[in-house]
Structure 1
Amino acid sequence: MEIILDDRQDKISVSEELIDKIKDIILECLDYEGYDYSYEVSLSFVDNKEIQELNREFRGIDRATDVLSFPLLTDEFDIELEEESLGDIVISLERALEQSLEYDHSFEREVCFLVCHSMFHLLGYDHDTDENTKEMREKEEYILNKLNITRE
């Protein structure tokens, strides 16, 4: 398992402890879904300005968001995924901090949730219907609870 980390923002520092938790989440998501660890994931930390630009470019929505997922594991791409990238995760650390305050839990918990959420997008899940949203939320909560990453 390789995580390609790109911290493209200078507003919020990221601790080694948080990076370790992120790695644990990625591995746990892969394990939960029955994947081995031969894949890579690209993870970029950005600010609100950059994620707004990406959101506008790729989704046509001109506002900052918390996380964007760019999965390669889709029917659109007929690729062999042996030792290949699952895709890219882009997180606005500014937005994650804002949401952690809004939801009254730690910044680390918010970033971990966003990574977990995005991993399930990379693995083919979506929240386009109530049923799919419920399934995705159950998977996210299972992973976070298993790793003892709580809302405290």
Structure 2
Amino acid sequence: MALTLTWTDEQDEYSISHELIARLEELLRLAGSAEQVKDGEVALTFVDDEAIRELNKQYRGIDKPTDVLSFSMLEMTEDELTIVFGDEEFADDDFAPDAGHDEAEDEEEGESYEEPLGDIVISVPRAIAQAQEYGHSIERELGFLFVHGFLHLIGYDHNTEEEEKAMFSRQEDILQQAGLTR
């Protein structure tokens, strides 16, 4: 098992290259190593401002575009589903639709299942604008937003000055290791 990245491109503003995806996979490995996260799947979607505005409105009640959103599969909130199966209730993270499925058997057969860590959604137009504003490459900005999103997936936040300092310090350390400097 390992950290894996799956991605989709739902925008037309910027061509997502294989080199960029390789760089994001490197950042995922570095961030995972720094945070001692060895296994899991991160799903990344590149979108335009309208798509991220809709998600921001739906999930955060903020009707404007943002640069990145993270949806962690590790956190359970009051708003998340409770699944009823027969007479039993499961929190959605406890539900096993393939109950009785043996993951060890899959590994022996060469198959593996990565536990989802969550989804990261990045607005490419926001990333381009921010890269221009900060005077660095689009690759660096997309890397920054990806690492930022990953840290949110595993529990980091920046609601207080102390939390923000810790999270942004971690981000910069990881980006420095990958050679993505300002």
TM range (shorter): over 0.9
**Residue of structure 2 equivalent to 1:66:** 67
**Residue of structure 1 equivalent to 2:176:** 145
Separation (CA, whole Å) in 2 of partners of 1:11 and 1:140: 25
Separation (CA, whole Å) in 2 of partners of 1:139 and 1:125: 10
Q: Which amino acid aligns with 1:59?
A: R
Look up the SS of the partner of 2:71 in the other structure: strand
Which one has the largest radius of gyration?
Answer: 2
Q: Percent of pairs identical after alignment?
A: 45
**Residue of structure 2 equivalent to 1:23:** 25
Greater percentage in helix: 1
Query: How large is the RMSD of aligned CA atoms in angstroms?
Result: 1.5
Look up the SS of the partner of 1:62 in the other structure: coil
CA offsets per residue over residues 3-54 of structure 1, 9 Å max, x none?
A: 1211011121111111111001111111111121x31010000000100011
Normalising by structure 2, what TM-score? 0.78
Aligned residues: 149
Look up the SS of the partner of 2:163 in the other structure: helix
Q: Which amino acid aligns with 1:52?
A: R
After TM superposition, list the pairs within 5 Å mapping 1:2-151 onto structure 2: 2-36=4-38, 38-76=39-77, 79=93, 83-151=114-182
Separation (CA, whole Å) in 1 of partners of 2:150 and 2:158: 13
Separation (CA, whole Å) in 1 of partners of 2:37 and 2:61: 32
Q: Which amino acid aligns with 1:31?
A: S
Look up the SS of the partner of 1:55 in the other structure: helix
Separation (CA, whole Å) in 2 of partners of 1:104 and 1:42: 28
Q: Which amino acid aligns with 2:145?
A: L
| Divergent runs of 4+, >4 A | none
Normalising by structure 1, what TM-score? 0.93
Q: Which amino acid aligns with 1:88?
A: D
Check the 8 A contact 2:4/2:25 in 1, yes or no.
no
In the alignment, structure 2 segments of 5+ residues that lack a partner are 81-90, 95-112
Separation (CA, whole Å) in 2 of partners of 1:51 and 1:35: 27
Look up the SS of the partner of 1:131 in the other structure: helix
Shift of 1:2: 2.4
Bigger RCO of structures 1 and 2 (CA < 8 A, at least 6 apart): 2
CA offsets per residue over residues 85-130 of structure 1, 9 Å max, x none?
A: 0000000001100110111111110000000111100010000110
Separation (CA, whole Å) in 2 of partners of 1:40 and 1:26: 10
